[in-house]
Amino acid sequence: MKYEIDIYKNNSENTLRFLLGKKGKKPLFVIGLNPSTADESKPDTTTTKIMRFADLNNYDSFILLNLYPQRTRYPEKLDTSINYEYHRKNLQIISSDIQKYSEINILCAWGEDIMIRDYLKKCLRDIIEILKNSNVNWWQIGDFTKSGHPRHPSRAAYKLGLKRTNIENYIINLK
């Protein structure tokens, strides 16, 4: 898959990114933690790995969303408390864009850093809530990490493959 981005939704300062991806007939949707350096012209390590996982699993494209839209390379630099305006806009865009598809395959790709900020768990719960009436298949890379979270793609081996996951059980156990 070539890095040909035709979906890029961000704010005017490019400090927030809501969607990044490539249109196709069978996209792999990916929910990461927060956007890093990838943009409409250049990928980062995570996006490159996502594209390869998509290729290896017969997807023709990918659409990357995030639990929280604030751009930073370092999750520990995320806002210390949730900005509800950012969160509402993220949910609005996810809801309007993702529900255009009859079948939605979502790769959970936030890693253990979901624990860095309490509000990230709320963000995930809210995304799951807005998608509850959609035909969603939830996936993860290999098994959960030792602490019980879906793996982040940047450090995951391709041989781990994608496995179905039970997002409801994950949420119940997420403390």
The per-residue pLDDT for 30 is 98
**Which residue has tokens 């890693």?**
111
d(CA 147, CA 88): 29
pLDDT band (50, 70, 90) for residue 100: confident
> What mean pLDDT comes out for the span 91-112?
93
Are the C-beta atoms of 66 and 90 separated by less than 8 Å?
A: yes
Would you tell me how many other CB atoms lie within 10 Å of the CB of residue 83?
16
The per-residue pLDDT for 65 is 97
Helix 84-98 and helix 118-130, axial crossing angle in degrees, nearest 10: 30
* Position 147 pLDDT exceeds 90: yes
Q: What is the mean pLDDT of the chain?
A: 96
> What mean pLDDT comes out for the span 120-132?
96
* Position 175 pLDDT exceeds 90: no
> Residue 8 region, left (φ>0) first, then alpha (ψ -120 to 50), else beta?
beta
* Position 85 pLDDT exceeds 90: yes
The per-residue pLDDT for 99 is 79
Percent of the chain with pLDDT over 90: 94
CA distances from 27 to 85, 88, 157 (A): 28, 24, 21
* CA 103 to centroid of chain Cα atoms: 17
Q: Against a cut of 0.85, is the pTM above it?
A: yes
The per-residue pLDDT for 102 is 86
* Position 140 pLDDT exceeds 90: yes
Quick: pLDDT tens for 12-41: 999 999 999 999 999 999 999 999 999 999
> Exposure of 57 by Cβ count < 10 A (0-12 exposed, 13-18 middle, 19+ buried)?
middle
pLDDT band (50, 70, 90) for residue 103: confident
* Position 143 pLDDT exceeds 90: yes
Beta pairing, strands 104-108 & 136-141 = parallel
State the maximum Cα–Cα separation within the chain, in Å, rounded to a whole number: 39
